[in-house]
Chains A and B, each alone.
Chain A
């Protein structure tokens, strides 16, 4: 059975490109347009991995991770941050919130898939 990955990004183009790459590599996908939307969709839905941007309206990616880590269902769900932010202070903030890993945009398809495989096999 295919693994399911939730993609949270406020950019339609990035959401579409990431979900396209994931589907081409055999994953099922869900998506959300900001942190709050992601939180709503993940409330009762278990997924194998969450990929999230940081800078988004309404609720940013790091705040969403903090909220998700408070829930029983996503306490241990792997979460990768996919962002243009590369400052170590923000990365540490993400790590502290409970992120599993950090990928700096621009990403290549190969690097994205390789990182996902490291995390969820």
Chain B
């Protein structure tokens, strides 16, 4: 995650890397680059605040066992939970939340032949449906990568289609390791 000043929007901006999320009520732009990864934007229209995440499911998905349910999906589950939890921390009301979903393209040169993008889109949409958060806009699928810009104060999201690169879809080793080992546990 790094901060910069976006000259086009004339606002402070923050760029998300894979595995990251950010929620705020500040008048900023949050941006990220998506290949087969998915970003969900969550917004409370009354408080005019929201946030965005950037996630991808694990590459392998097994059917009908616990590894499938809580292994590969862990990436998406925690990304969604962290985002919604932080928006609520800022005072947003669950029943007012609205969502937009982006990414999940079938980019060339991906690491394997599975359609990771479709899995990511489906996971995000299923999660939001289960949490009863309406999706008011989606720009998903296709074969091009995207750079998206979320203007927090008005919930507008601008999408720019960009040339794809395999690097776009690579989770950093640090992020992977974090999910494999889990967070810290402390007993008081």
Q: Which of B139-170 contact A (CB under 8 A)?
A: none
**A101, B178: Cβ atoms closer than 8 Å:** no
Provide the bound-state CA to CA distance between A17 and B182, in Å: 15
Q: Which of A51-72 contact B (CB under 8 A)?
A: 53-57
**B77, A17: Cβ atoms closer than 8 Å:** yes
Describe B's contact surface by its main secondary structure.
helix
Contact of A20 (CB < 8 Å), options: B70, B82, B84, B185: B70
Q: Report chain B residues within 8 Å CB of A102.
A: 184-186, 188
Number of residues of chain B lying within 8 A (CB) of chain A: 30
Number of residues of chain A lying within 8 A (CB) of chain B: 37
Provide the bound-state CA to CA distance between A12 and B128, in Å: 10
Identity of the chain B residue whose Cβ is nearest the Cβ of A115 in the assembled complex: B185
Identity of the chain A residue whose Cβ is nearest the Cβ of B77 in the assembled complex: A13
Q: Report chain B residues within 8 Å CB of A14.
A: 77, 81
Provide the bound-state CA to CA distance between A48 and B179, in Å: 28
Which residues of B come within 8 Å of A, CB atoms?
66, 69-70, 74, 77-78, 80-82, 84-86, 88-89, 93-94, 127, 130-131, 178-188
